[in-house]
Structure 1
Amino acid sequence: MRILPAILAVLLSSYIQAETLVRGLATPPATLDPHFFHGTPEAGVLKDLFEGLVIQDEYGLPVPGAAESWQVSEDGRTWTFRLREDLKWSDGTPLTSEDFLFSFRRLADPATGAKYSWYLQLSGVVNSQDVTEGKQPVESLGVTALDKQTLVVTLDEPRSWFPAMMTFPSFLPVPRHAIEACGEDWHLKEGCAVSNGAYSFVSSGHNEIKLQRNTFYSGFSEAQISDLVWKMYQQPLDELVAFRAGDLDITSGLPIVSLLPKAVSVGIATEPEPQLITSYLIVNPKNSTMSNPHLRKALAAVLDRDAVFPDVGGPAWTLTPPWTKGASNWLPEDYGQAQWKRDNAARKALAKAGYSESNPVKIEYMTVEGYGKGGLYNESIVSQWRRLPGVEVEIVSLDWMEFTRRYLSGDFQVMHSAWLAAFNDPAAFLLLGGRLSPYSLGVMDDDYDVALQKAMSETSQEERKMLYQNLEQQLVESNSIIPLKHLSQVHWLQPRVKGFTATNPEGWVTSRQLRLE
């Protein structure tokens, strides 16, 4: 009879583990405060913890979230969001339009120091630039709470993709009552880490973040998994080892080359889906050497995109992935040409630039030290450039702080980068050519930004597509940004995981849509 308690304990332990979903993270999140959101590592966790006015369906399209509906005025400048009734934070406190108003203002407040406050300006929110620059008080921001369930956002110009922008993590709501009671580190304190999404915070430590189902979530019945763990790994191989051991249910998005089918004999791999990610080179036209357009053309033409780190995606001939909503079908003249013809064009361009074996050009390729997969990219690119007579390339590896400083100051010649769109529209990529983003160098002239602003505010879909096409052509033909790859990723899933779809081009799959069998 004494054996029964032990058997029951084992059965209970198995049941509890079966109700816990373990998901992989490639790197530790920088924060769990949406307004200090940095990038991809924390986005998945934040989308489990919080729910914005608008969320994404399995295909990445904007659908009602905390707002049950929205309307836009005839001139496309006023967006009215109607919140669901009886919304609550995870501590049971009512959530109203005033919470969203507070969140918009906190995002815009320069005292907050939010990394993506500039997205308010990109979205065209009235007075957002003056507010984020401290020239006007936050109360002048074009956001108003008409009543407890109605929030109005006013724009300077129409933005057809405004609902899609509202799915970006920086626009998630934050709890004013918890922040005022617990301080700026509220999101990591027990009893203070209040959220409004399908899951609420439990603890963080030992390379993992534990969440539990939020019983006050309005869509509580949708979240079928009771306990959730986001676990961090340093390398893709570490994830695959944990996955094979049964300690991980879903890996993070891994490059296709990391599938290693011989190393992973269990589980299911998702089919690679097109995503809104482009890998590219920045050839700094403001550098005295790189300002030569013939040299930039030579460096672009000689690159065989299929040979640049194969198996991580398809070759990119435009900065904007062709499956982006509203993208044109424009392609450069040398698209589809045999590489030997492109090599010949590169040599001719190099000669026009005035360089040869007797008069070589020295190029500094700036990268981040210890950048893992990026090292393979860099070696592939550099080896191809060295095929040109007289081109000498030095790889300079810097720590992240120095790399960022030199990039933002424009103190470099060539560097590799990648961009994940924050919303499904060509503008999300084309802004990299101008100065609408603080992370762009303005490789194009001021007319480019003027034209992009015009394109974003155009209400005719066909006219907007044509304007975007013209900008894409200008940017690609300048060879200041050289598209390399449209990246693809896969996830490994344990067979017990159901409901996982890789059809969102931004790559997000929230845990509330999953179940375990």
Structure 2
Amino acid sequence: MKNWKKAAAMAVTASLCITALAGCGGSSKTEEKTDSTEKKSASDNTLHYQIGVAIDSLNPQLANDGTSFSVLAQCMEGLYTKDEDGNAILAAAESVDKSDDGLTYTFKLRDDAKWSDGSDVTADDFVYAWQTLADPNTGSEYQFFVQTACLLNADDIVAGNKPVTDLGVEAVDDKTLKVTLSSPCAVFESLMTFPSFLPVKRDFAQEAGDNFATSADTILCNGAFKITDYEPSAMTIKAEKNDDYYDAGDVKLDGVEWQVILDNQTAAMSYESGDLDVVTLTGDLIEQYQDDENFSTSQDGYMWYISPNTEIKELANENIRLALAKSFDKEAVTDTLLKDGSTPADYIVAENLAVSPDGTEFRKQAGTYDNWTYDVDAAKEYWSKGLSELGIDSLELELVTEDSDSAQQVAQFLQNEWQTNLEGLTVSIKVEPKKARLEDMQNGNYQLGLTRWGPDYADPMTDLDCFITGSSTNYGRYSNTEYDDTIDSAKYGELALDTEARWNALVDCEKMLADDCVVFPIYQQSIARMISPNVSGIYFYSTGSNYSFKYAEKK
């Protein structure tokens, strides 16, 4: 890296205090255990945990980000949950009978599965929740999951051609749930650990109406903890041990308090004073703490990338996209700005997410792609061609980013790289709260967007499904018939029945994204943390909800 580039990166670093990277949804786990020392820690038996962004929603069928999903996962359980290694295990269901053809799952719910008001968790709670998820009127960003799970009639219901009552989920009796699929689903059990499939008590939700899940009084929990203090955009969310939880005897904590702290310097000070038990670190704070015995890092599945809006004339030009994708130094982002163990990415399917039927990790088979590598000379050539094709000699573009300090820092670095390396390019930055940024990108009201995606389940499909035509996560409006048909077959068609052919087809799909250059990968996120030496038993995951506090304890 040239000295001037290091200087530019350091200047950006100095301008901002980096905060925690937070998102959405290959199961991997890091168990954080430390020995008791004289380190000061919050003295009560409540876990005090920093999060970097406000909760978007605690309605399971409307939540759409990793922060919300992770809070929900501490307070609610579906048919399955994750063990310490991230594998799907039965939770609210005590048994399951699978048909030989893979199309029918019959679950028996636990007799002692209870809501936090003491009432039984019933099969109808799942029917109501899943029908709500599938209902086009709900407006869930994860509505497509009923299709990913291959639930019977999901396609027609999502399209508005059949009523939600035709969805392949049925309450045979209070404790028996029958699920019918349209085709075998290789990732069904993993999907069932995801918060969108959590149950909701019908009469409670209907009585709450539009206020459902907007306060502690309008939330029912069936997990290890129950929400006691919450309101939209709250900076503090509190939960206490749920004595009605069937496995309450194994829950050691009295409660959890999540604190939304955007500034990591402030969070670190709270950790030092003992007001926080767990904080996330980035940038200069990592250098400050990296030799501490309570410091740790773990790779997760979140991919950060730029989404170009291909409906914009200039960004519909492939050479312009190639120039933008190849003209910024990813190593400078990870090594000079973030310094948290994150890795440069010339790929979009996360590393260490999933393995093939023969045991080959996806990234080792797929490799990386030239269109996404850093190459300023090649970028300049593409830029010149693109401008010539458009009949212009300069271009102004706007990059939208969310308001966390780390995202703004990366955005400023990209702005500097693009304007330095691509003559005639001017990039402005629009900073918005995350929710507003997502809405603008989903509605196509943007040009370039800095965004991220976390894997929801342990399969390459969790990343590749984002880019099918019409998907709410396909911000850039990419449309490729071959790509769509391949993904469709891998989910529901002939490829779904041939695991090896399906795997190879998904490798080809990632290559299509690279060949068309409709997304610009930047890095795969890692998380650096300080965890109080008095705390043990927290499990961190790379898919879906990011952690579990069920077995956490404080000494």
Pick the TM interval, shorter chain: 0.7 to 0.9
The answer to whether the aligner puts 1:249 opposite 2:283 as a matched pair is no
Inter-CA distance 259–500: structure 2 relative to 1 (3 Å threshold): farther
- Give 1:406 deviation, angstroms: 4.7
Shift of 1:214: 1.3
Task: Give matches, 1:174-185, under 5 Å.
Answer: 174-185=200-211
Following the alignment from structure 2 to structure 1, what is the Cα–Cα distance between the partners of residues 470 and 101? Answer: 23
Q: Is the 8 A contact 1:237 1:258 kept in 2?
A: no
**Structure 1 runs not aligned, ≥5 long:** 1-13
* Structure 2 residue 257 is matched with structure 1 residue 222: no
Tell me how far apart the structure 1 counterparts of residues 182 and 236 of structure 2 sit (CA, whole Å). Answer: 43
Shift of 1:196: 0.6
Q: What one-letter code is carried by the residue in structure 2 that aligns with 1:299?
A: L
SS in 1 for 2:257: strand
In the alignment, does 2:348 pair up with 1:319? yes
Matched, 1:238 2:266: yes
Specify which of 384, 396, 419 is matched with residue 453 of structure 2: 419
Tell me if the contact between 2:73 and 2:545 (Cα under 8 Å) persists in the aligned partners: no
Q: Give the RMSD, CA atoms, in angstroms.
A: 3.0
Asked if 2 retains the 8 angstrom alpha-carbon contact of 1:273 and 1:505, the reply is no
Superposed CA offset, 1:341-387 (max 9, x none): x333223333433559x963314032137442122212222222234
1:373 equivalent in structure 2: 406
Letter in 1 for 2:316: S
Displacement of 1:425 in angstroms is 1.3
2:479 aligns with one of 412, 436, 444: 444
**Distance in 2, Cα, partners of 1:197 & 1:376:** 37
- State how far apart, in whole Å, the 2-side matches of 1:23 and 1:43 are: 15
Cα pair 1:256 1:488 within 8 Å, conserved: no
The SS at the match of 2:259 is strand
Report the CA distance between 1:309 and its aligned residue.
4.7
CA distance in 2, matches of 1:198, 1:320: 32
The 5 A counterparts of 1:20-99 are 20-99=46-125
Query: CA separation in 2, counterparts of 1:211 and 1:405?
Result: 29
Greater length-normalized contact order (CA 8 Å, ≥ 6 residues apart): 2
* Alpha-carbon offset, residue 470 of structure 1: 0.4
Match of 2:536 in 1: 498
Whether the 8 Å contact between 2:401 and 2:411 is mirrored in structure 1 is no
Q: Given the alignment, which residue of 344, 362, 380 partners 1:347?
A: 380
- Residue 294 (structure 1) shift: 2.3
When residues 84 and 389 of structure 1 are mapped into structure 2, their CA distance, relative to the original with a 3 A threshold, is: closer
Name the SS of the counterpart of 2:313 in structure 1: coil
Q: 1:385 aligns with which of 418, 424, 427?
A: 418
How has the CA–CA distance of structure 1 residues 192 and 502 changed in structure 2, closer, same or farther, with 3 Å as cutoff? closer
Of 120-129 and 500-509, deviating more is: 500-509
Give the Å deviation of 1:452.
0.7
Q: 1:402 to 1:90 in 2, by over 3 A?
A: closer
Q: What is the identity percentage for the equivalent residue pairs of Structure 1 and Structure 2?
A: 24
Which structure has the bigger radius of gyration?
1
**2:308 aligns to what?**
283
Give the distance between the partners of 2:445 and 2:386, measured in 1 at CA: 22
Distance 1:373 1:197 in 2: 33
Alignment of 1:512 with 2:550, yes or no, is yes
Helix, strand or coil: the match of 2:119? coil
| Residue 393 of structure 1: how far off its partner (Å) | 2.3
1:209 to 237, 246, 257: 237
| Aligned CA distance change for structure 1 residues 395 and 74 (closer, same or farther; 3 Å) | farther
Deviates more, 1:467-476 or 1:125-134: 125-134
Structure 2 CA distance for aligned equivalents of residues 169 and 203 of structure 1: 20
Q: Distance in 1 between matches of 2:458 and 2:424?
A: 38
Q: CA-to-partner distance for each residue in 1:58-83, whole Å, 9 max, x for gaps?
A: 23221111123334434333333332
How far is the alpha carbon of 1:16 from its aligned partner? 11
> CA offsets, 1:106-140, max 9 Å, x none?
22234444342232123222222433454432211
The C-alpha deviation readout for 1:425-455, integer Å capped at 9, x for no partner, is 1111112222252121431313211111112
* Cα contact 1:49–1:201 (8 A) shared by 2: yes
**Partners of 1:332 and 1:293 in 2: CA distance:** 19
Contact 1:255 1:488 in 2 (8 A): no
Shift of 1:245: 0.6
Q: Which segment drifts farther, 87-96 or 62-71?
A: 62-71
* Aligned equivalent of 2:370: 334
| 1:486 match: secondary structure | strand
Count, aligned residues? 497
Match of 1:305? 330
- Structure 2: gaps (5+ residues): 1-39, 356-361
Alignment of 1:293 onto 2:328:
no
How far did residue 189 of structure 1 move?
A: 5.6
8 Å CA contact retained: 2:306, 2:449:
yes
Choose from 474, 477, 480 the match for 2:512.
474
* Code of the aligned partner of 2:480: D
Where does residue 430 of structure 1 map in the other structure? Answer: 464
Q: For residues 245-276 of structure 1, what are the alpha-carbon distances to aligned partners after superposition, in whole Å with 9 as ceiling and x for unaligned?
A: 1011122xx35426445379977122x22211
C-alpha distance 399-21 of structure 1, shift in aligned 2 (>3 A): closer
3-state SS of 2:304 partner = strand
Give the AA of the match of 1:381: L
CA distance in 2, matches of 1:28, 1:220: 28
Amino acid at match of 1:449: D
CA gap of 1:505–1:372, structure 2 versus 1, over 3 A, is same
Q: Aligned equivalents of 2:206 and 2:324: distance in 1?
A: 54
* 1:480 to 1:34, Cα distance in 2 relative to 1, 3 A: same
